[in-house]
Amino acid sequence: MSDIIIDNMPVNPKQSKFRHIFKTVKKERQLWILCIPLVAWVATFAYYPMYGIIIAFIKYVPGKPFLDCQWVGLKYFQQFFESPDLFLILRNTLAISGLDLLFGFPAPILLAILINELAFKRFKKFAQTVSYMPHFVSWVVVSSIMFTTLGTDGVFNEVLQLLGIVHEPVAFLSKGEYFWGLITISNIWKGIGWGSIIYLSAIAGIDEELYQAGAVDGLGRFGMIWHILLPGIKTTIVLLFILQIGGILNAGFEQQLLIGNSQTREYYDVIDTYAYRYGIQLGRYSYGAAIGLMKSAIGLSLVLITNKIAKKVSDLSII
């Protein structure tokens, strides 16, 4: 092993690395002390409970110690992949998440750009505040709003009939084919304003001089957006895109249960609603845990893959 010289003393590379870390920590000790609560929080609430993952591999009975429960290995994972509903719930999960990614992901970016372009400051602030409000409306209320609006006695049907577009009310909420569209629209409605906050702050961070330089070069409003604003927030967009890809198997839960019904089950049933019905409600916690673990593993893999692709394509990554 070849030694290196530090402070005129020969040390091996392992020792050197350790010393380097120690020196850095010592130098940045105030920052590290500030971090202690957060590290403790993550260790206690995010890592310590992870030992519970074991219930995905045993036949868990609440109240029984883990070691007394029967070890079943990958039985519950196998059961999930052999479930007759597997294709249906995977299709629905990917379709709803895919639509969210396709329309729901760019929507806040578009809104942030539009708000940024508003010249009248008071209206800008008003529009911003109003756009956040749906985020605070619970799904229970959203489902009631949807029933009042889109039910057969709803306002939308009344308008369609008044305009002579339809003669009989359209059962929007009981047609499975409409469900993906409705859930995507409601997801966008609820999340667009809230999601735009991070982009607005990223836009605010762009150097004003770049716009001035752009104006000198003859860029119009669209040119400024295309050549200055969008490249300025590219890092944020890539970061959030990678994270959203990681959550592609989280297609929702409450909204499905509240807006969905027996007629639309074949379109609304996603992994989480399935895991709740067949795991929690049937008292099969191990099965629910196996599905959850599988989801997390796939999510993590997707984050890593997307991160690698993003790094290769645009030299931007989160890790």
Residues that bind another protein (CB under 8 A): 30, 33-34, 36-38, 40-41, 44, 59, 61-64, 79, 84-85, 147, 151-153, 169, 171, 173-174, 261-263, 265-266, 269, 277-278, 280-287
Residue 190 is inside which H or E element, if any? helix 176-204
Tokens of 221: 């409003």
- Judging by DSSP bridges, how do beta strands 9-11 and 4-6 pair with one another? antiparallel
Nearest CB to another protein, comparing residues 61 and 230: 61
Least distance between another protein and beta carbon 219 (Å): 45
DSSP symbol at 4 = E
Least distance between another protein and beta carbon 188 (Å): 22
Nearest CB to another protein, comparing residues 233 and 258: 258
Least distance between another protein and beta carbon 175 (Å): 10
Least distance between another protein and beta carbon 62 (Å): 4
Least distance between another protein and beta carbon 118 (Å): 39
DSSP line for 113-170: HHHHH---HHHHHHHHHHHHGGGGS-HHHHHHHHHHHHSTTSHHHHHHHHTTS-SS--
Query: CB within 8 A of 243, min separation 6: which ones?
Result: 303, 318
Distance CA 63, CA 72 (A): 18
DSSP symbol at 246 = H
Least distance between another protein and beta carbon 242 (Å): 29
